[in-house]
Structure 1
Amino acid sequence: MDWFSLGKRRSKFGKFLDRHELTQQEVVEKSGVSRGTISRLCQVEHENGPTMQNARKVIKALRDLTGKNVDYDDFWSM
């Protein structure tokens, strides 16, 4: 079991955070998106994406935190 996921079913976004050992709080602080939104995006039953405004903030934060060239389509489908 992955320590960060705590046995919960994770979305692609949640799994990305786990693989890169990022906490939800780090993404909240870097992106300015609410804790509730980030938490919801990590859950498999909520794989529908964030608003485009929040998506831009989250993607920019992930790029800054990981140095990876991630995009909306890596986590959510339109």
Structure 2
Amino acid sequence: MFGMLFGTGKSRTKLGKWLDKRGISQTWLKEKTGLNKSTIGDLASNKERSPTYQTMKKIIKALREIDPNVKSDDFWDM
């Protein structure tokens, strides 16, 4: 799925751009967090969408496996 989205000119959020830059698939994030595929996709592409606190915690926990310094502020204005 990552290959299909990258470079297609689709709108990407800060989260989506972060994943793309590191070559991380939404499927990987889905498996690490246990979140729904559509939730991950929406948070990666819909700039109007904000995660719930629990969803944000799961995503940040997973992303810290890649970058221990990542913070929710890197992606969302909460």
RMSD: 1.5
> Which consecutive unaligned segments of at least 5 residues does structure 2 have?
none
> Which consecutive unaligned segments of at least 5 residues does structure 1 have?
none
In the TM superposition, structure 1's runs of 4+ consecutive aligned residues that sit over 4 Å from their partners are: none
What CA deviation, in whole Å up to 9, does each residue of 1:34-68 have, x standing for no partner?
1111000011433x42000010000001111x134
Summarize the alignment of residues 1-78 of structure 1 with structure 2, pairs less than 5 Å apart: 3=3, 4-46=6-48, 48-64=49-65, 66-78=66-78
Q: What is the TM-score when the length of structure 2 is the normalising length?
A: 0.84
Q: What is the TM-score when the length of structure 1 is the normalising length?
A: 0.84
- In structure 2, relative to structure 1, the CA distance for the partners of 1:67 and 1:45 (3 Å cut) is closer
Q: How many Å separate the matches in 1 of 2:47 and 2:53?
A: 19
What is the total number of aligned residue pairs between the two structures? Answer: 74
